[in-house]
């Protein structure tokens, strides 16, 4: 008598099995797990298309194996600290394939997207800044690691489940990066906005374009959006660069359409302490608080 399984049970059992017995045929897996070969073959194909497992054909037989980095994630009791450490190690070791497979392992279990951002991606980003500041990695290596982290963040796009209780908002979120270091944060915000059906525009990093005339160009672009919609406009500026924050904040405050524009600024403690007194808008430094605000737009 064969046991009854669902996909989640099969995924867990197959990963545990292949971690110790890589590779195995469908027949070997079905015997070990205790389900019939036709059923297990269907499930293996699903896991293959989800990129959880891979296969190679020897003669007429498919042999199944795990890609490096694929792990079991218990969706009911996720160990976020453990996942955070695994992701950090793979990033700093330059193991891009393992990094991507860790993300696939997490997202295929429909883990809470907000918690992935708050308890995995953002702490990893902060740790990368810390180890760079301590001289453990150079600037070039930091850029490369942050680029890989940003690509990993964007992998979660494929697992977004739109909030069915959330109607499309009458608001537009314009996301702006004020330096390269804040780009991963902008991508996290973009994903949260998409999940919550918030219309958004990601401008990118404007730091290198800032000059005495850029405020006029920036205002012209915001005005173009303003004239196309009656929606409330929110500009979310993420930057650890005090010059970018001051410049863009002042540029928006000088516009005639200021009443329909709300400014959201995200930075770090050091930058906030330097410039908060010179700004009217509050600078946020708590990433969980930022997500909470975005979700209420």
Rounded Cα–Cα distance for residues 145 and 166 (Å): 35
pLDDT at 59: 85
pLDDT at 164: 61
Rounded Cα–Cα distance for residues 106 and 99 (Å): 11
Query: 124-171: per-residue pLDDT in tens?
Result: 999 999 999 999 999 999 999 999 999 999 988 877 766 565 666 788
pLDDT at 105: 80
CATH number given to 80-158: 1.10.1240.10
Token pair 């946020």 is at which residue? 284
Q: Where are the alpha helices (DSSP H) in the chain?
A: 7-20, 26-33, 37-49, 80-92, 96-107, 113-116, 122-133, 139-155, 183-195, 214-228, 242-253, 269-275, 287-295
pLDDT at 270: 94
Residue 31 is classified by DSSP as H
pLDDT at 1: 44
CATH topology classification for 7-66: Arc Repressor Mutant, subunit A (1.10.10)
Rounded Cα–Cα distance for residues 278 and 267 (Å): 15
Residue 23, C-beta contacts closer than 8 angstroms, at least 6 positions apart: 55, 56, 63, 64, 65
Q: Where are the domains of the chain?
A: 7-66, 80-158, 162-295
CATH topology classification for 162-295: Rossmann fold (3.40.50)
Spans of the chain, pLDDT less than 70:
1-5, 73-77, 108-111, 161-168, 254-258
Chain CA centroid to CA 86, Å: 16
pTM to 2 decimal places: 0.81
């Amino acid at each position: 008598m064969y046991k009854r399984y669902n996909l989640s049970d099969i995924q867990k059992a197959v990963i545990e099995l292949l971690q110790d017995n890589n590779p195995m045929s469908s027949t070997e897996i079905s015997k070990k797990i205790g389900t019939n070969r036709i059923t297990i073959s269907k499930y293996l194909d699903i896991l293959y298309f989800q990129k959880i497992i891979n296969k190679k054909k020897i003669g007429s037989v498919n042999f199944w194996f795990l890609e490096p980095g694929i792990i079991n994630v218990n969706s009911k009791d996720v160990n976020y600290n453990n996942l955070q450490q695994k992701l950090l190690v793979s990033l700093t070791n330059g193991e891009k394939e393992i990094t991507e497979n860790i993300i696939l392992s997490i997202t295929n279990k429909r883990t809470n997207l907000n918690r992935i951002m708050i308890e995995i991606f953002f702490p990893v980003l902060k740790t990368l800044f810390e180890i760079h500041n301590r001289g453990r990695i150079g600037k070039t290596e930091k850029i490369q690691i942050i680029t890989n982290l940003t690509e990993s963040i964007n992998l979660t796009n494929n697992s977004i489940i739109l909030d069915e209780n959330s109607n499309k908002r009458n608001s537009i979120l314009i996301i702006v990066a004020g330096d390269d270091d804040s780009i991963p944060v902008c991508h996290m915000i973009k994903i949260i906005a998409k999940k919550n059906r918030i219309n958004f525009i990601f401008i990118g990093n404007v730091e290198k374009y800032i000059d005495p005339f850029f405020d006029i160009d920036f205002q012209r672009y915001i005005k173009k959006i303003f004239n196309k919609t009656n929606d409330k406009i929110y500009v979310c500026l993420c930057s650890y660069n005090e010059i970018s924050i001051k410049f863009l904040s002042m540029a928006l405050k000088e516009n005639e359409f200021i009443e329909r524009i709300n400014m959201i600024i995200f930075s770090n403690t050091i930058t906030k302490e330097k410039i908060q007194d010179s700004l009217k808008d509050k600078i946020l430094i708590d990433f969980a608080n930022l997500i909470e605000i975005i979700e209420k737009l």
